[in-house]
Amino acid sequence: MQIDLSGRTALVTGSTQGIGLAIATALARAGARVVINGRGTQRVADAVRTVRAGSGSEDVTGAAGDLATEEGAAEVLEAVPALDILVNNLGIFGSAAPLEIDDAEWRRYFEVNVLSAVRLIRAYLPGMKERGWGRILDLASDSAVVIPAEMIHYGMTKTSLLAIGRGFAKDAAGTGVTVNSVIAGPTRTGGVEAFVRELVGDELPWDEAQRAFMVKYRPQSLIQRLIEPEEIANMVVYLASPLASATTGGALRVDGGYVDSILP
């Protein structure tokens, strides 16, 4: 299959590192005009250079703004008034004792992980519908359906994204716009690498260390290794392409078989 996103403009939120950076690079490699987003202008500028180098495309720009706030979202919308592809990747995570998560923390997780996505969908979906083509993708997590006891507030936000994706897909019915969620499993990022080393030590080579971690701490994974960010990016690029025109309102898994069910 040949995926060509030439002429399409894509915004990837929270794309200065990790999965978001991999998605931005893959979209640029497929020919899309890509907009990098993050809160700080310097980190955005650094990520733009990284994506250009990794994709071979110069058609990569940045739009700094804190999308968890109305003011930050307005800055991004002013810089990027119209889109063909919206990837809501922005998210925070962390562990906390369930009964110790206060109201402020519940609100913070909702505003960053959920409301930031809703704001952008609300802003960009009407134009996509008018033009008769668009792709909206929300990055969810296995925690949306396998709620971790130590991250209930995080799991709640990812479950919410599944509902949002399905609901807005119905709003876009028959317009040529698709809306989907991507359920990502345990993925290799800088923070996760440090976490793995903390649990299994520094003696083993990385490939052995991650497999030891998965067997002991994530035994339900069927691939028995961490997912690479590029593997999630591959799914996003496919769903962003014309090839996925009949896929909408779905929750598609790139979880290495982590979720022990046939359906989400």
Q: How far does Cα 205 stand from its chain's mean position?
A: 29
Catalytic residue among 124, 154, 217, 238: 154
What is the C-alpha to C-alpha distance for residues 67 and 111, in angstroms, rounded to an integer? 9
Q: 154 catalytic, yes or no?
A: yes
Three-state secondary structure readout of 34-64: EEEEECCHHHHHHHHHHHHHHHCCCCEEEEE
Q: How far does Cα 231 stand from its chain's mean position?
A: 12
Long-range contacts of 170-173 (CB under 8 A, 24+ apart): 170/249, 171/125, 172/125, 172/128, 172/129, 172/134, 172/136, 172/248
**Could you give the residue numbers annotated as active site?**
154
